[in-house]
Amino acid sequence: MSAVTRLSLVAGFSLVALTPLSGQYPGYPYPYPPTYPGFGPGGYLQGQASVINASGDLMVKQEQARVEREKANQAKLDTQKKSFDQRLYEKMLTPAYGEVASRDQALLLKRIMTNPMQAEITSGKAHNIMLPYLTNVALQGIQGPPIMLDQQQMRYINVTTTGEGGFNLGILRDGGHVKWPMALRGSPTQKKLDKLLPDAVAAVANDSFDLKTYKELTKDVAKLTDELRTKFHKEEIDGGLYLDGKRFMDSLESAVRGLAEPTASKTLQGSFAATGRTMPELVTNMAQKGLKFAPANPGNDTPYFALYNAMIAYSNGAVDSNAFKTQFAPINLYENYYDKTTKSNIK
């Protein structure tokens, strides 16, 4: 091929390459698009639109987050309200402490008056449970059935000023002379106490009871209790004798502790005693002096059962009878329990 022909072909190809094809990247002076899209007038507007869209999406998401947060707060408030309503419901259905105590006391009183244990009677517990109820009946002026109290038996009813579990001086009422049970007789310790107890009671009456005598008494009582236990372990006495002796020693120990109390002399002299010809007189006397029933002395259980039966009879009669008349309660207790309005209504 000649040089002229080759030159012609090269010029033709050049013209074809430089002529843009129809629809090929219009507006661009080059046959190919730029390396980084977005440059140029169209790319600038597209970037602005993206920024606006992103800002709008951010605000929408922020508002959605606020809405969800409000929903969470409302859910918390709803939970708190439900919790408060639940606590209020439980509190409304839960009885108060006073209501529970009153119910338990009423149930205990009912059991004591219908089916007490023997030990509850001989220990005075049954009498002490019924005492507030009968005191209230007496203070209201209700006159129950004419049940007279056996004054001979009332001498064997022990009282105390310290309530249940307190001291009981009843076993030393006869000047400190006690009737020792068979299991305790004959030992040197028993003979020593047999002499010390009357002297101690006399010292309490004369207000000359000292610490030395009190310590000696408590030491000898503890020693005699140990001797009784040793006899039982060595099978020198049987179970019945041991129980009789143990009950006696418990009463004696309580009495010795009671000798150190400030009211011991009044108790031994009879100022603090269960006195009264009728049930209203008895419970009024007990309330006036703040007395409680103390356990019975060993061998003196019968008066306690008799007094318990009298209290039950009076209580049942006060509840069931329709023919009762009212009478005025003692004025010193009357003032403590009734106001003037209540007085004027009592006939």
Would the CA dihedral through 37, 39, 41, 46 be positive or negative?
positive
Contact predicate 330/141, CB 8 Å: no
Res 284: pLDDT: 87
Statement: the pTM of the whole predicted model exceeds 0.85: no
Would the CA dihedral through 205, 211, 216, 220 be positive or negative?
positive
C-alpha span between 254 and 261 (Å, rounded) = 11
Res 40: pLDDT: 54
Of 257, 265, 308, nearest in space to 173 by CA = 265
Could you read off the pLDDT tens digit of each residue along the chain, which spans 347 residues?
555 455 455 445 444 444 444 444 455 455 555 555 555 556 667 777 788 888 888 888 888 888 999 999 999 999 999 999 999 999 888 888 888 888 888 899 999 999 999 999 998 999 999 998 888 887 777 777 778 899 999 988 988 886 555 678 888 888 888 889 999 998 899 999 999 999 999 998 888 888 999 999 999 999 999 999 999 999 999 999 999 999 899 989 988 988 888 888 888 877 788 888 988 889 888 888 888 898 888 888 999 999 999 999 888 887 655 444 433 334 343 344 334 443 443 33
Residues 266-291 as b/e (b if ≥16 CB within 10 A, e otherwise) read: ebbeeebbbbbebbbebbbbbbebeb
The DSSP element (H or E) to which 292 belongs, if any, is strand 292-293
